[in-house]
Amino acid sequence: MSHILIAGLGDLGTGLAERLLADGHRVSGIRRGHEAPAGVDLYSQDLLDGAHLLPPDQVDLAVVIMTPSEYNEEGYLKAYVRAPLNLLDALAARQPLPPVLFVSSTAVFGDQDGDLDETTPPRPSRYNGKVVLAAEQEISARTLATVVRFSGIYGPGRRRLLSKVEKLMRGEEPLPAPAWSNRIHRDDCVGLLHTLAGQWLAGETVPPLVVGTDNHPARNLDVYQWLAERLGGTLAVPDTEATGKRLRSGFIAAGGYRLRYPDYRAGYQTVLEAR
C-alpha cells in the first residue's frame, strides 16, 4: 500500500482519490473546504497561507490539481505557482520530495497552428499559459514530475458547450469562425491520472510530459451541428476549412492509456443521456 497526497479535491481530485482508495492505497487530501470522499484523510487548509497541516508519515506521490478562484493573472499565480510551491516547501522540510503528478493545461501551446503533441515546444501567448508553464518548470526543477497538459475537459456537470449550442439554435449568438477544437472527457482525465499514478507507484518509467486529449480534434462547427441535431434542432454551418491547433497525445496513441470516450460523439452521448 502506498500513500498518495492529493492537493485539490475538486471533481478530478475526488475521482482520482476514489480510484486509488479502491486499489487499496492510503489517500490524504488537501482542500480549502471540509468535504472529502470516505476514506480520505483530509487536511483542510488554504495552501496560500502555507502547508501547516500535513500527514504525519511519508508521502510516496503528490498529485497537484489546482483550480484558480479568479480567472486573471493573480488568480493563476496563486493557484498554480504559490500554493503548490508552499506545499513542496513544507514537504521538503519533512522528507525527500516525492514524485509529483501535476495537472497543467494545453494553454501553454498558445496560438500555434497545426499538429501539436508532447514534442512541440510551448509558446504561451496569454497570461494563463505563461503562468502554468512557469509552474511546470518550477515543479519539475524541484523533484521528479509528470506534467499532464489537458485540453478542453467536458462531461457531467459541465454544460458550457451545451448552453452555447442552445443559444446558437435560438439565434442568440452568431456562428463563430471555424476552428479546430480539442477535448477530453472528465472520466478519461481521471483514468489517465490514475494510470500515471499507478506507474509512479509501481516504480515504472514515467514520461515527464503527457498531453491529455482524445486524439480526435474536430471542427467546432461540426461539433455544434452534431449536438444541435441531438437536442432536436438544426444548425446550418458552412463547409469552411478550420484553423488553429490539432492536439495529439503521443502517450495515448502509443497505448499508454486506453480512452473510454475516444471522441466527442461517444462522450457527449453520455452527457446528453444524463440530462
Written as one letter, the residue type at 171 is G
pLDDT of the residue at 157: 86
8 Å CB contact between 178 and 240 = yes
Whether 247 shows a pLDDT value over 80: the answer reads: yes
Whether 20 shows a pLDDT value over 80: the answer reads: yes
Mean pLDDT of 41-52: 96
Counting beta carbons within 10 angstroms of the beta carbon of residue 139, is it exposed (0 to 12), middle (13 to 18) or buried (19 or more)?
buried
Whether 191 shows a pLDDT value over 90: the answer reads: yes
Whether 100 shows a pLDDT value over 90: the answer reads: yes
Q: In sequence order, which residues have a C-beta less than 8 Å from that of residue 56 and are 6 or more positions away?
A: none
Whether 23 shows a pLDDT value over 90: the answer reads: yes
Helix (H) or strand (E) holding 168: helix 160-169
Whether 209 shows a pLDDT value over 80: the answer reads: yes
Mean pLDDT of 243-248: 97
Written as one letter, the residue type at 33 is G
Tell me how far apart the alpha carbons of residues 1 and 27 are, in angstroms, rounded to a whole number: 10
Whether 275 shows a pLDDT value over 80: the answer reads: no
List the end-to-end C-alpha distance of the chain, in Å, as a whole number. 38
What CATH number belongs to 3-155+183-216+248-261?
3.40.50.720
Where do the domains of the chain lie?
Answer: 3-155+183-216+248-261
Report which of 72, 69, 100 is spatially closest to residue 87, judged by C-alpha positions: 100
Number of helical H runs and strand E runs in the chain = 9, 13
Query: Within 10 Å of residue 208's Cβ, how many Cβ atoms?
Result: 11
pLDDT of the residue at 90: 98
On the CB side of 232, CA atoms within 13 Å amount to 2
Mean pLDDT of 95-122: 97
Tell me how far apart the alpha carbons of residues 221 and 242 are, in angstroms, rounded to a whole number: 9
pLDDT of the residue at 51: 95
